[in-house]
Amino acid sequence: MAGGNAIRGSRVGAGPMGEAERGETAPRLRVSFWCANGHETQPSFASDAQIPDTWDCPRCGFPAGTERDAPPDPPRTEPYKTHLAYVRERRSDADGEAILAEALAKLRGEI
């Protein structure tokens, strides 16, 4: 026997809504944006809204601009650096040898 609740799975206010219930839609303007990969995105904006200079491409995530022939450059990503790579940027090999010698002398009880 099936359950007795006829509105199961719906929510309050759900159902088809027409223009009469929602009111008139604001006038819209579709603007084309192109990314460095050549993807075109056409978001719609209210006709009186300020159009942004860049828009994130939904396909690749690169920034997109309104000029097809001159899209914005993709962001430059730095490769992951380990802690040791950062230490090597700050200290030379000679500094590292001096610090190691000092630490070993401290462990041996020479200092």
pLDDT tens, per residue, the chain with 111 residues: 555 666 566 666 666 655 566 677 788 999 999 999 999 999 999 999 999 999 999 999 999 999 999 999 988 888 888 998 888 889 888 998 999 999 999 999 876
Ligand-binding annotation for 83, yes or no, is no
Q: Using a cut of 0.85, tell me whether the model's pTM lies above it.
A: no
- Amino acid 75: pLDDT: 86
CA distance 18 to 40: 31
- 3-class SS at 45? strand
39 among annotated binding-site residues: yes
Confidence (pLDDT) at 71: 92
